[in-house]
Structure 1
Amino acid sequence: MGRLTGGDPSLLRRINSAVVLHALRGADAADSPTLTDLTRVTGLSRPTVEGVVEGLMETGLVVEAEAEEGGAKRQGRPARRFRFRAEAGHLLGIEIGPHRISALISGLDGRIVGAGSREVDESASADDRLERVRVVVADVLRRAGVARSSLRAVGVGSPGIVEADGTVRLGTALPGWTGLPLGERLRRSFRCPVLVENDANTAAVAEHWKGVGQDTDDMVFVLAGLSPGAGSLIGGRLHRGFGGAAGEIGALHLLGQEDRPESLLSTTDEPLHPLDEQAVAAVFAQAKRGDERARAAMDRFLQRLVHDVAALVLALDPELVVVGGWAAGLDGVLDPLRTELERFCLRPPRVALSLLGEASVATGALRLALDHVEEQLFAVETTVTARR
């Protein structure tokens, strides 16, 4: 965008407001800035900063720190100090999984103020699963003392290929999930934007925000399970693909039908049935006890996972591969993956386990909600330079 002239004072005010608000939000909570501090940090004139701060106070996003916190009065007139009111609104991150519904709630600064989860049967219908979501959310809000009307945005991580409007185009992990208008159903419960994303994608966002991927903008997160999925960040931005199906490495077995998980994990001549995490965990337990057929099944499963990840790495050339999800807790996941990538990659990526574990999907969903609010508060600052 070109350099502003005086022709659009309304836009200029919004830009200046975003600049000052960004400075207040990034300030040290223990040392709230004065008008002089804000003038120095933003480069705006003091009258402009003072006018912007007064306007932000009227919206409830900013408060005079000493006045609210009841600080001790000193002799003379102390400089007025101000702080960003993170409690002026709240964000919600939700994970909808096969076995668990989890929720995290934070203020506008992304700091978590409440959390909760409940188990759900993997055979639960879509209606029953969504009812469990409502129960978990209500419980988390109640215990955190947060009114539902305070929510500014809700992020949701779900298995399956998710379209931009929150519809699950394909979801085989949960009963009745394919074709479900998940975003539309959830929006009935909230008076704020609801953003629905694939669970591996939200986990990738979480690791980049608070996990092992904080120091890189090019990474792949592998949600390792019976049907693995992956989320990718390229240049710090989530890569969803044309139809939201990027990273669906669990479908690679369709290229070789003998590589189906139920065959790979079988310790007999028949496919493993039922194919669920409990049955697979039993196979791995047998392998640990030295059962040769179980050890062979475990090796086949891990090798299949390694090949799936290697295919994605060869296509994207990331700096880091993060392994999370259920299978991340299995012995021997990382070493064969590193060995395979060293064979095929000119510059093999680092490989690490997730730091966030089971919290990764809900944490990433919370980050999506925070991103949405930040776009509303600060977007103009990145497109136009503020002027005095």
Structure 2
Amino acid sequence: MTGSDRHSVPTRTAAYLRDYGGATVTDLARALDLSRTSVETSLAQLIAASTVNESSSVSAPRGAGRPARTYEFNAAGGIVAGLDVGTHSIRLLLSDLSGTVRSQHTFGGLDTATSGAEQIDTVIGLIRTTLEDQGHQPPALRATGISLPGIVDADGRVVTSVIVPGWASIDLRAQFHRAFGCPLALDNGVRLAALAEHHLGAARLVEDVLYVSVGTRIAAGLILGGRTRRGAHHVAGDIGRLAIRQSEPTTGELVWRTAGSGEEVIRRAVSGDEDSRRELDDFIDDLGHGIALLTMAVDPAIVVIGGGLSLAQEAFLGPLEDAIARYTRLSFKLPIVSAALGADAAAYGAVIHAFGRFADELYGGITLPPPRISPLTPR
């Protein structure tokens, strides 16, 4: 957004109504330090663009005369979707134009036996069906953000992915524009999960964040100076195959010896199985060493641990914090916390990413700064 866009009267008026609620011309003139004429002119422009509505309610007059008309931001004028796409599940969030998430939906993961084109058809079909079930026609979709496992460049193109390899050869933006007539923003899932935790989760207002996802794989996301770190080749945080010794060399998937998943290893260890306890201890020590290396390299203000294993507080997170401290040997206590958004983090990050990328395409030609995203339920 240029300086003139940011400070234009229509932009300031719409942003105020979106972020602070309905107001009269007098309220707006006072809050924005503008003349009534300027406010009335901007309101006429915003109403013509369907960005603002005249409310059916009126404010009581302060003196003699007719009640004052109230104006409201048209939050229901469009939908922004955020998806986290994977082989285990697909999570979809639908937000209104004020950034308030209105519904949340979870589906089964992509079928890895199908082609990339068939997988994309599946995702488009899920979005279309969900919109219709929620009473929206596809044209209501103003922008879509997608989180996926893989290397994604700054323009939102999938460079490579061992999980959804077929997506790299398809023009995804063209497919979604054809289906919904709206732009598409893509990025790596762990990077977007870090973005979400920074905006509204465990690392809110923290400028330097190391986010580590510990689930079926290990991956990291960095927020440095309040901005996501991509790296020169868009691979910052892609540590899965190198972080610990029990990662499968090609896919980075964790290989467990005493059970089929990390969650099951933890359950067995807590129940007293000695083999699982030893495997868990070795894993935590190895992971603690890897996170300590990252910590000393980037010096974050906080480390956020996400992914499925982060839910095991006493059995996993506590011992991991001890292991990191043992290897870093810092003279101060580095905050190491569990992610606040859980399995929905990457989907929320996709919503945030879509609002950030397409601020000039969401509001009928009025360029607004991205809104603060409001989760569906308090976190």
Please report the TM-score for the alignment, with normalisation by the length of structure 1: 0.81
* 1:152 alignment partner, SS class: strand
Partner residue, 1:160:
150
Q: 1:337 aligns with which of 310, 320, 323?
A: 320
Against the structure 1 CA distance between its residues 180 and 294, is the aligned structure 2 distance closer, same or farther, given a 3 Å change threshold?
farther
Query: Do the aligned partners of residues 241 and 291 (structure 1) sit closer, same or farther apart at CA in structure 2, a change above 3 Å counting?
Result: same
Count of aligned positions = 360
Structure 2 unaligned blocks of 5 or more: 371-379
Q: Distance in 1 between the 2:183 and 2:177 partners?
A: 7
Higher CA-based Rg: 1
What is the distance in 1 between the residues matched to 2:13 and 2:254?
Answer: 59
Deviations 1:277-329 (A, max 9, x none): x4444444433332222222222222232223222222222222221112223
CA contact (8 A) 2:303 2:336 kept: yes
Aligned residue number for residue 92 of structure 1: 81
- Which amino acid counterpart does residue 238 of structure 2 have in structure 1? E
Q: Could you say what secondary structure the match of 1:231 adopts? A: strand
Counterpart in the other structure of 2:40: 50
Q: How does 1:1-388 map to 2 (within 5 A)?
A: 15-28=8-21, 32-65=22-55, 68-69=56-57, 76-120=65-109, 123-125=112-114, 126-174=116-164, 176=166, 181-253=171-243, 265-267=256-258, 278-330=260-312, 332-343=315-326, 344=328, 345-374=330-359
Return the alpha-carbon distance in structure 2 between the equivalents of residues 81 and 73 of structure 1: 12
Q: Is the 8 A contact 1:153 1:372 kept in 2?
A: no
Query: SS state of the match for residue 210, structure 2?
Result: strand
The alpha carbon displacement at 1:203 in A equals 0.9
Q: CA 1:124–1:57 in structure 2 vs 1: closer, same or farther (change >3 Å)?
A: same
C-alpha distance 338-280 of structure 1, shift in aligned 2 (>3 A): closer
Counterpart of 2:75, as a letter, is A
Identity %: 31
- TM-fit CA distance, 1:191: 1.0
Unaligned ranges ≥5, structure 1: 4-10, 273-277, 383-388
Following TM superposition, by how much is the alpha carbon of 1:258 offset from its aligned partner in structure 2, in angstroms?
9.1
Question: Contact conserved, 1:172 with 1:178, CA < 8 A, in 2?
Answer: no
Q: CA deviation at 1:182?
A: 4.2
Q: 1:69/1:39 Cα in 2 relative to 1: closer, same or farther (>3 Å)? A: closer
1:177 Cα offset (Å) = 5.1
**In structure 1, distance between residues paired with 2:345 and 2:144:** 16
Question: Displacement, 1:136?
Answer: 2.0
Query: How much has 1:340 moved relative to structure 2?
Result: 3.5
Q: Secondary structure in 1 aligned to 2:8?
A: helix
- Separation in 2 of the partners of 1:169 and 1:249? 17
Shift of 1:103: 0.9
Name the amino acid aligned to 1:234. L
- Shift, 1:124, TM fit: 3.8
Cα displacement (A) at 1:176: 4.0
TM-score, length-normalised on structure 2? 0.83
Deviations 1:199-238 (A, max 9, x none): 0111112222322222322222222123211222222222
Letter in 1 for 2:152: V
Contact 1:105 1:140 in 2 (8 A): no
